[in-house]
Every structure is written in structure tokens, then in C-alpha cells.
Amino acid sequence: MEPRGARALITGATGGLGQAIAASLATLGAEVVITGRRAEVLDELAQRLEAEAIVADLCDRSDLERVAEAARSCDILIANAGIGHDAPIEAVTTDDIDTQIDVNLRAPVILATAFAQAHLEASTPGQIVTIGSLSGLAASPESRLYNATKFGLRGYTLALRQDLADHRIGVTHVAPGFIRDAGMFHDGGIELPKGTRTKAPGDVAAGVLRAIRENPAEVFVSPLELRLGATLATVAPSLSAKVQKRLDAAGRQRAD
């Protein structure tokens, strides 16, 4: 599918990755619909891109239904919104759990379902893109909920792709690694191990564009070594945990 002339909905558009994706699609001639919680950021972006804006909190059931209704009329759905930063296990609350599940997993599932049902009923083509993470392949310390929701999102996306394969509705999972200047790791001020290579928000936008145009099952936006490390974690999680622990210890020694 080509973006030009298509109507594309992007969630999480007030964050750095969402803004990069929305700007890329608008530049290519897509009719962009953007959603996010921060009205002032969303309105400024909407004016700049001549986009439609929907202020919405994906944890709010009525807000999510409004976004789902908008998704039904779109040609492209990009489920980009996501949150991380797990609280320490001794301090985590039910609200913490509900919030990450609602934003990272429940909302994409609801939106993709609404989008797919509308296109199945109308017999029209469409493209669903979910923005996951390498954390959906490799577990890491202090990221229990983030790992759980991103593992779930990847599994849902790949299964949905199979369900819709014969209906001209593409489904792609985009998995970024560490992204500089935007995203969870940047916003949280997380210090990466020395020598860790990163990608830019524009690289994620390019990955989304590839997903829309080519409909691969997955697009990885990360250096090769991170992709290989994540792949190792899927087949040897205990070894991966040991490697991460040693890297963390080495990083602490350098910091000291």
C-alpha cells in the first residue's frame, strides 16, 4: 500500500516516535489522524501537518472507543502508543499493572480489531502496524510489565497477520531497539552500556513506511548485534540473563 492519498491513524503521536511517523506520512501525502493525551502538543502537530487530532487517553474506555471509531474509517492503523518504566516489585500497584496493559496491549488489540472488522465488512484493503520493541523478544530486569505487554503485542500481531492473510489486510510488527532523542529509554534518562549503538526516530518512521509498502511480518529497527542478542534470548533465556547481568556489572564498575 502507498501512503499517498491514504488515511492513516497514529496513536501516541505526542511522543517523539509518533511525531516522526506522522510527519513522514504527511510528507508522503497521507491524510493523517493523530491521537495523544497532551492537547497542546497534539494541536501544534496537527496544525503543522494539517492533520486531524483526537485528544484521548487510551486508559479511558470511552476515549478508546472514540479512537476505535476513527480507526474504522482509516486505510492504515499505526498502534504506536506505549509506556514503560516499571516500578520496583515491592512498590508496584494494581494501577501500574492496569495502565501498562491498557496502553501497551489492550488498546492495540481493540483498535486492530475494530479496524479489521470494518475492512472485512467492506471488503477493502488495509494495513495494520504495531510498534513493539526488542523487549518483546528478550526479557530484561526491572521491565516485567513492559516485557509482558510487548511479548503479548508481538504474539497478537503475528497471529492476527495469519488470520487476515487472505483478506488483503496486511499486518506488520515493527520492533525498535534503543532509540536516541525519543522514546522510552531517552525519556527515562536510562544510561546505556558503553558502546551500545542506537537508532534515530527517523529510522523507526522508515521502518513503518517499509511495513506499509511491503507488508513484511516484522521490521527490526536496531543494530545487528542487538537483533542477534534478542534472538539469542528467545532460545536461551538463561544465557541471555547471565550476559545482561555481566554487562550491567561492567557498566556499574565503569560508572564507579
DSSP string, the chain: --STT-EEEESSTTSHHHHHHHHHHHHTT-EEEEEES-HHHHHHHHHHHT-EEEE--TTSHHHHHHHHHHHTT-SEEEE------PPPTTT--HHHHHHHHIIIIIHHHHHHHHHHHHHHHHT--EEEEEE--GGGTS--TT-HHHHHHHHHHHHHHHHHHHHTTTTTEEEEEEEE--BSSSHHHHHTTPPPPTT---B-HHHHHHHHHHHHHH--SEEEES-HHHHHHHHHHHH-HHHHHHHHHHHHHHHHHHH-
Q: Which of 137, 141, 130 is nearest to 108 (CA)?
A: 130
- The pLDDT tens digits of the residues spanning 190-238 come to 555 555 677 899 999 999 999 999 999 999 998 888 878 777 777 777 7
Q: What percent of the chain is modeled with pLDDT above 70?
A: 88
In this prediction, residue 37 carries a pLDDT of 95
Domain boundaries, the chain: 7-223
Q: Please tell me which residue in 34, 76, 135, 146 is annotated as part of the active site.
A: 146
Q: Assess whether 156 carries a catalytic annotation.
A: no
pLDDT along the chain (256 residues), means of 10: 97 96 98 97 96 98 98 98 91 96 98 98 98 91 92 98 97 92 55 68 96 97 82 74 60 42
In this prediction, residue 230 carries a pLDDT of 79
Write down the CATH number for the domain with range 7-223.
3.40.50.720
Whole-structure pTM value? 0.88
